[in-house]
Structure 1
Amino acid sequence: MAGERRQAISTSKAPQPTASYSQAIAANGFVWVCGQVGNDPVTGKAVSDDIGEQTRQAIRNIAIILDEVGATLADIVMVHVFVDTLIDFPAFDAAYQEVMPRPFPARVTVSGGVDPFRVEIAVTAVVPRKA
């Protein structure tokens, strides 16, 4: 990453982009991971209709992408969440608390259409310095 203003991050281990965007962009010691949904990296299909399981899978997908730059879920500083309906918020938040390390990053959660998925999560993380 040194010497480059921004670098596209890509891994075949995570779901592939379905339009004109990168899985993530790294720049200036940060990485921005595009919105991830609860889809299986191989089939591209939702892992379940359950928002809790979709939330856990979206976060697993984020962790896979972060790993490409040597970051982990613990390096996340900001989370943007889009839930299909705010009625889903309690179940989303319970699943989120199960998998996200503490202290929790800053977060904003809004209701927005992510059909056919029930949740989409985008994050910003700090890329750890290499020793």
Structure 2
Amino acid sequence: MKKAIESKQAPAPIGPYSQAVLAGNTLYVSGQIAIDPETGELLTSNLEEETTRVMENLKAILTAVGMDFSHVVKCTIFLSNMQDFQRVNQVYGRYFEGLVPPARETVEVSCLPKNVNVEISCIAVKA
């Protein structure tokens, strides 16, 4: 059984997909970009601000099902430029301080939706 998850605290999908899908006790969160859910504005002028907005969007979706970053078991980070890795990693890492960090891969891609610099998805499990 699977259930679509929607949080008003995260941006609405910009295509035919769900913000996340809950299947049993596993949450599959779609890739998030730096859209401010309150204004609909895209935040890409500062990489740290952009990454923070992405992580806050993920957090909002996790919260919608009673989870948090401690439940995240896997993340995928997509970057438009691998030279941004350290700056993105620094912001990303703050959300997992004191936690068992999830498995992860980071890949550079030629283009991301709306020409953003970073997109992150995750998988979380609630025992």
Per the normalisation by structure 2, the TM-score is 0.91
- Indicate whether 1:68 and 2:68 are aligned: no
After the TM superposition, which residues 69-88 of structure 1 pair with which residues of structure 2 at under 5 Å, given as runs? 69-88=65-84
Q: Is the 8 A contact 2:44 2:117 kept in 1?
A: no
Q: Deviations over 1:39-61 (max 9, x none)?
A: 21122222342222111111111
**What TM-score, normalized by structure 1, do the two folds share?**
0.88
* Two-structure CA RMSD over aligned residues (Å): 1.3
Letter paired with 1:104: P
Unaligned runs of 5+ in 1: none
Corresponding residue pairs, total: 124
Residue 94 of structure 2 corresponds to residue 98 of structure 1: yes
- Gapped runs of 5+ residues in structure 2? none
- Deviations for 1:93-123, whole angstroms, at most 9, x for unmatched residues? 1111122232211000000121421100000
Aligned to 2:50: 54
Contact 1:55 1:92 in 2 (8 A): yes
DSSP-derived class of the 1:95 partner? helix
Task: Answer with 95-104 or 8-17: which moved more.
Answer: 95-104
- The answer as to whether partners of 1:47 and 1:54 remain within 8 angstroms in 2 is yes
Quote the Cα distance in structure 1 between the aligned partners of 2:37 and 2:43: 10
4+ runs deviating over 6 angstroms: none
